Amino acid sequence: MNTNIVIFTDLDGTLLDHDSYSYAAAEPCFDYLRKNQIPLVYTSSKTAIEIEELCIQTEFFYPFIAENGGLISTPIDFFSKSSQNKKQYRKTIIGTPRDEINQVLKKFEDSYNFKSFKQMSLEELIKHTGLTKQQAIYANQRDSTEPLLWLDDDSKLQAFSEQLAQYNLTLVSGGRFHHVMGNHDKATTMSLLIEQFSSYYNNQITSIALGDSPNDLKMLENATYGIIIPNPHAPKMCINNHATLQTAKHSGPQGWNDALLELLQELLK
């Protein structure tokens, strides 16, 4: 395994196509990662069970970050020299439990117009996400976040966010939905995993992060190298001067593949 590089990637709109959720265009880079044994850490607002399915499909059995940093899921004994089973995962909850989040959201149902995943029927989830029935069921099996569809004026979002903060909750904009969660994010959870990788391999880690929305920006800035994947469907990022940030030429998995492959070949030549 290449212990110098660890890659953290957002999924929807980044590795996965915004409309089809396909990662087919990323296969050349997948092959390069496998050949060089470079860990690929999925880092997403998706649920643990959704990401486990993707790990199986792509055959990348590494730790992953789910629910916007709300939990880390790690193959059992992954960071143990004697690890034999890397396909069974154990979750570590970091964020605020989902039930507590929804108790707070209930207080604001008469003040703002929104609809959370918990409030949606299975048919509504399928309609708004474009997922299959089974995928929608998995998307709703959450531990530490609550996605919601904002149906009110955008001008009210700031006030809503400030009121949630009084309950130690954060409102984060993703590619399609807003996510209500505790005081955690992808960047802080990424840092925890970088420490684990560095300690286990007794080696300083070069981290590469890829993302497409403001939800990913802090993660991109805190990585050694950050790659922005253009997404016309996501809110625009407010980017300050950052020497190690670059923008891919294409959106979705094609941009992911081309930009990451170019950077890796430069770093490993």
Residue 158 half-sphere exposure toward CB, CA atoms < 13 A: 1
Q: For the beta carbon of residue 139, count every other beta carbon within 10 angstroms.
A: 19
In sequence order, what are the beta bridge partners of 147?
179
Phi and psi based region of residue 214 (left: phi greater than 0; alpha: psi -120 to 50; beta: remaining) = alpha
Mark whether 10 is an active-site residue: yes
Q: Out of 10, 12, 185, 212, pick the active-site residue.
A: 10
Do residues 246 and 228 lie in contact, with contact meaning Cβ atoms separated by under 8 Å?
yes
Do residues 231 and 247 lie in contact, with contact meaning Cβ atoms separated by under 8 Å?
no
Distance between CA atoms of 229 and 232, rounded to whole angstroms?
10
Residues acting as catalytic residues: 10
